[in-house]
Amino acid sequence: LSPKEVAEAYLKRVQALDPGLGAFLTLNERVLEEAERVDPGLPLAGLPVAVKDNIVTKGLRTTAGSRLLETFIPPYEATAIARLRALGALVLGKTNLDEFGMGSSTEHSAFFPTKNPFDPGRVPGGSSGGSAAAVAADLVPLALGSDTGGSVRQPAAFCGVYGLKPTYGRVSRYGLIAYASSLDQIGPLARSVRDLALLMDAMAGFDPLDATSLDLPPRFQEALAEPLSPLRLGVVREALSGNSPGVERALGEALEVFRTLGFGIKEVSWPTLPLALNAYYILAPAEASANLARYDGTLYGYRAEGEELWPVVEATRGRFGLEVKRRILVGTFVLSSGYYEAYYARAQAFRRRLRAEAKALFQEVDLLLLPTTPHPAFPLGGRPDPLAMYREDLYTVGASLAGLPALSFPAGFEGHLPVGLQLVAPWGQDERLLRVALAFE
Ligand code: GLN
């Protein structure tokens, strides 16, 4: 097959199936031309990739799921995209998300919700719900998402695919529209571990354009070829109760498999984990309130009608969705003088403690195992209370706050709904996650 034939086949599938799914916000109309021009000798020649719409693509509309960027055509390319394209990959289209990545269901997209391919009455998870649904429904073999507090892992779990949140800094954030900069990471979604490795090797590695970029060259495919000696696996005690029957069963079965593989298994405690949500929902909105200050209608994106500055700024920012407004208010509040010490500074101190605890845990074990989510995909409209929506991130925000790599892998079903489990590795040991997941696959 030529790159063009592959792209055509996937485009056809998207055109036939996406109207019922809502995974894509924009299709790349130039993809067939690009496929014709691709050098067939390149390692990723003709590989179609779907890209979460908060990752900028040169010349291709990038909305971040927001009315504020509804007509934004970026004049530059995110580093991750530039690297994929340089190896011959094709951007098939841009996928739906919660506005600016703020949500756990993709229902906060300003445009439309995405449906779960396993059940059209349920959410695909979020905020990378479009990417997860597209991969699960085979509208595309691979996709990019972003993970601030779980947005790659949770939708991967809800849609029965693999999703990796790399160590903070391993994939350049240049061109990723900022939500909470100390947490944001681009990560891949795929239907196999080897496909995750392919994307990571292509896009990870040092980038001078991102000040927090790590100089840790990716060696994912190489690592997958090495034999795996049994490791010490820690099951996180704080994530063992309150899970749905299918999640409990998947966990039990996975432990059996790891035991058979010769892994040493022990229960370990990460005491701050149950409170990680509280800190996350202070720190992430705080950073968001600063990052989103730029959408005032003066530089780019949507600008309301009018002559006078403040009314224009006000009307422009009025177009943020409800959840984004809520985060800006919370973030501004926790950073305001008088409350800064009580909220923001305490959350920062908590984050340091959580990180230290995780570090100590990795003296005892090589990897942590816990569910990705306490239950499978919930119904569309099923979390009208914002706090109930925030609680969906219970098990994912720990690795985020600690900056650690974490991977969600498909581990069974509850009825017709997929269940995902999560592996967390020490800082910089992303490759280990994939090696272990491959042994499980
Ligand atoms: N659901 C979390 C939030 O709303 C995480 C989102 C994300 O990782 N982008 O902040």
Specify the ligand 1 atom closest to the Cα of 146: 9
| Ligand 1 near 103 CB (within 6 A) | yes
Catalytic-labelled residue, pool 52, 94, 115, 165: 52
| Ligand 1 near 148 CB (within 6 A) | yes
For 95-154, what is each residue's pLDDT tens digit?
A: 999 999 999 999 999 999 999 999 999 999 999 999 999 999 999 999 999 999 999 999
| Ligand 1 near 129 CB (within 6 A) | no
| Residue in 195, 272, 244, 296 with CA at minimum distance from that of residue 411 | 244
Give the list of residues 6+ apart from residue 114 with CB closer than 8 angstroms, or none: 21, 22, 23, 96, 106, 123, 124, 129, 130, 133
**Ligand 1: centre distance to CA 376 (Å):** 17
**Which of the four pLDDT bands, split at 50, 70 and 90, describes residue 299?**
confident
Which H or E run includes 235? strand 232-236
Instruction: Tell me which fold the domain 3-224 belongs to.
Output: Amidase signature (AS) enzymes (3.90.1300)
Question: In whole numbers, what is the pLDDT of the chain averaged over residues?
Answer: 97
For the whole model, what pTM was predicted?
A: 0.98
| Residue in 116, 92, 117 with CA at minimum distance from that of residue 15 | 92
What is the ipTM for the molecules in this complex? 0.98
127 tagged catalytic: yes
- List the chain domain ranges: 3-224
For 160-210, what is each residue's pLDDT tens digit?
A: 999 999 999 999 999 999 999 999 999 999 999 999 999 999 999 999 999
52 tagged catalytic: yes
Specify the ligand 1 atom closest to the Cα of 101: 9
Q: Which of 147-156, 307-316, 350-359 has the lowest mean pLDDT?
A: 307-316
**Ligand 1: centre distance to CA 311 (Å):** 31
User: How far is Cα 164 from Cα 171, in angstroms, rounded to an integer?
Assistant: 11
| Ligand 1 near 287 CB (within 6 A) | no
Q: What is the mean pLDDT of residues 267-290?
A: 98
Q: Which one of 104, 322, 401 would you pick to mutate in the ligand 1 pocket, going by the greatest count of ligand atoms within 8 A of its CB?
A: 104
The pair of structure tokens assigned to 52 is: 């979460």
List, as one string, the DSSP characters of 57-117. Answer: BTTB---TT-GGGTT---SS--HHHHHHHHTT-EEEEEE--SGGG--SSSTT-SS-PPPBT
pLDDT at 76 over 90: yes
Looking at residue 300, its pLDDT comes to 83
Looking at residue 2, its pLDDT comes to 93
Parallel, antiparallel, or unpaired for β 162-165 and 185-190?
antiparallel
